[in-house]
Chains A and B, each alone.
Chain A
Amino acid sequence: MRYVRIFLLTFQSVFEERGRSLVWFLLSCINPFIMMLFWRGANISSTTLSMITSYYFFLIIGGSIIMSHSEENIALIDIQEGRLANYLLKPFPYYSLKWLEELPYRALQGSFGLIVVALFSFLFQVKLSVGSQSVVNFLLIFLMLISAVTLAQLFKVCLGFISFWTTDAYGIFQLSEMFMFILGGYIAPLSFYPSVVASIAYFLPFPYMIYFPIASIAGFYTTQQLVFIFLGQLVWISIFVFLYKSLWKNGLKQFTGVGQ
């Protein structure tokens, strides 16, 4: 109940600045939108085109629900400005509080995503394709979405923790954005990439946050492949949980909170 209360309080402050949230959301729509137009001119079959269009529409919704942006707040406000001292005194784990702070943003931006996609598919008569999915597939996709949100949040929190050791981690954040942009499937489905690049990407955590869940909804994979992807997500979650604990333990030793 206490967690629900914290969530509702955070939601209130997020909703207060819904205009800014809307602009952030619109920003995330621009790239998928351009790419949708781009692929219409490619010499590919109508079935593939329909799958790609659906992929970008799902990317708009999925990207806003899954992708956390908490690393800058952790680095700048919590670690550099020292607000972490405040969190340390609270009877809640830091990670849970960070997640509760991020969830309202994801909920609000996800709802913007649903509205925009519904509006666009109605205006431009786009039929969203999910392929031929069984009930088991839908269940697996649901689990994959939850894992993707967890993985993205863990990844961003670990990224923010780098600030325990650096005075300015902006370059590292930008580097991670670049990798995410290319290897996370924001430009195009990885199956359209050169096979070498796609193979490298499959061994990294980036596609497990965005590309695989979105491509699964768009019906790119069979049940067996979905199981493997889900297992891959679990492996990455385990790695990042371990990394989180290690960074937190050692990072706190670097942290100095000054104030009254």
Chain B
Amino acid sequence: MKRYIKIYWIIIKLNFSLLFAYRANFYNSFIISVGWGIVSVSSIFFVTAKVSHIYTWSRGDLYLLAGVYSVIVGLFHMFFSASLERFGRTISLGMLDSYLLTPIDTQIYLSTKTFRPISLLRLIIGIVFTAVVITQQHIEIHFANVFLSFVFIFFGITFLYSMWFLVITLMIWNPNLTNLIDFLYISNNFSRYPTSIVTYTKNVLLYLVLPLMLVTTVPAEFILGKVTILQVIGLLFFSLGLFMASRYFWKFALTKYTSASS
């Protein structure tokens, strides 16, 4: 464990140096990160400008949901998405061999080899926005609440990571399906909205996206004091279940992997 932390710390430092090494690239990344952070928060302002409620969610509740979403997505993009989006290229260029030969766990290495420091901005936008909404809504918050909210956010990120890893593992069979990454980026949007938009439809097919919505709904409803024990169990069950599934699927996929370089 100590060795992994040491390696990850080196990765973080290297990625920070890389970010500032190319100035134009830094400005580019800055615009993208801040821009999408603002878009994800402001879009909820626009859609709720002329309606006060969406199912049982008031306008203020939806703002809080948007803030929590920005925090979760900011953290996820910072730690995982940059590494996972290069997976197709890693396989098609036969670079997976070199990862398999390293003396650390391949899944961990592949999932964490790139750290995206610029997503810190999006995270900060999310945290500030959430704090403003909490203050304006006069929601009482204690240390225990904050701690438990972060526990739920942790499980939410575990769910997103496992879903991404499970899907990109498919590229072992077909490395050309690189637009699966775009599919995953857009699928994250489901977690921007409350679970009610699916549960009220009573449509069985739509329940498939329900776990993805729990990722943000559970921490947000917990802050609002509306979360049910069933929702919490649902989030824990899907996060841990999908994490184990992604682990087993990855090990199975490796047995089918044929090297391209050697």
Name A residues whose Cβ lies closer than 8 Å to a Cβ of B: 20, 23-24, 26-27, 30-31, 34-35, 37-38, 40-44, 166-168, 170-171, 174-175, 178, 181-182, 187-188, 192-194, 197
Tell me, rounded to whole Å, the shortest Cβ–Cβ distance linking B164 to chain A.
15
Q: Flag whether B54 is at the interface (Cβ < 8 A).
A: yes
- Do A38 and B197 contact each other (CB < 8 Å), given the known contacts A174-B31, A174-B35, A192-B50? yes
Q: Flag whether B24 is at the interface (Cβ < 8 A).
A: yes
Are B35 and A187 interface neighbours, CB within 8 A? Answer: no
Alpha-carbon gap, A178 to B35, bound state (A): 7
Task: Name the residue of chain B whose CB is nearest to the CB of A17.
Answer: B176
Q: Which of B4-12, B182-190, B217-225, B237-245 contacts A (4 or more CB under 8 A)?
A: B182-190
Are B46 and A182 interface neighbours, CB within 8 A? Answer: yes
Tell me, rounded to whole Å, the shortest Cβ–Cβ distance linking B136 to chain A.
18
- Do A187 and B47 contact each other (CB < 8 Å), given the known contacts A23-B179, A24-B179, A175-B31? yes
* In the complex, chain A residues whose CB is within 8 Å of the CB of B35: 174-175, 178
Alpha-carbon gap, A54 to B57, bound state (A): 24
Contact digits for B2-43, partner A, Cβ 8 Å, 1 yes 0 no? 000000000000000000000011011101100110010011
A-B pairs with beta carbons under 8 Å apart, 12 shown: A20-B177, A23-B177, A23-B179, A24-B182, A26-B183, A27-B186, A30-B190, A34-B192, A171-B28, A175-B32, A188-B47, A197-B49
Are A43 and B51 interface neighbours, CB within 8 A? Answer: yes
* In the complex, chain A residues whose CB is within 8 Å of the CB of B29: 171
Task: Name the residue of chain A whose CB is nearest to the CB of B31.
Answer: A171
* In the complex, chain B residues whose CB is within 8 Å of the CB of A24: 179, 182
* In the complex, chain B residues whose CB is within 8 Å of the CB of A20: 176-177, 179
Q: Flag whether B45 is at the interface (Cβ < 8 A).
A: yes
- Do A194 and B31 contact each other (CB < 8 Å), given the known contacts A34-B193, A37-B206, A178-B36? no
Contact digits for B138-153, partner A, Cβ 8 Å, 1 yes 0 no? 0000000000000000
Count B-side interface residues using an 8 Å CB cutoff: 41
Main secondary structure of the interface of A (DSSP, over half): helix
- Do A178 and B179 contact each other (CB < 8 Å), given the known contacts A40-B200, A192-B49? no
* In the complex, chain A residues whose CB is within 8 Å of the CB of B198: 37
Which residue from B24, B179, B206 sits with its C-beta under 8 Å from A27? Answer: B179
Are A34 and B197 interface neighbours, CB within 8 A? Answer: yes
Which residue from A170, A174, A188 sits with its C-beta under 8 Å from B46? Answer: A188
Are B46 and A193 interface neighbours, CB within 8 A? Answer: yes
Q: Flag whether B52 is at the interface (Cβ < 8 A).
A: yes
* In the complex, chain B residues whose CB is within 8 Å of the CB of A34: 189-190, 192-193, 197
Tell me, rounded to whole Å, the shortest Cβ–Cβ distance linking B188 to chain A.
10
Q: Which of A38, A40, A168, A182 has the most CB of B within 10 A?
A: A38
Task: Name the residue of chain A whose CB is nearest to the CB of B50.
Answer: A192
Tell me, rounded to whole Å, the shortest Cβ–Cβ distance linking B122 to chain A.
13
Are B46 and A194 interface neighbours, CB within 8 A? Answer: yes
Which residue from B32, B49, B176, B180 sits with its C-beta under 8 Å from A194? Answer: B49
Which residue from A42, A170, A178, A181 sits with its C-beta under 8 Å from B53? Answer: A42
Alpha-carbon gap, A187 to B201, bound state (A): 20
* In the complex, chain B residues whose CB is within 8 Å of the CB of A175: 31-32, 35
Are A41 and B200 interface neighbours, CB within 8 A? Answer: yes
Are A178 and B39 interface neighbours, CB within 8 A? Answer: yes
Are A42 and B54 interface neighbours, CB within 8 A? Answer: yes
Tell me, rounded to whole Å, the shortest Cβ–Cβ distance linking B36 to chain A.
7
Are B39 and A181 interface neighbours, CB within 8 A? Answer: yes
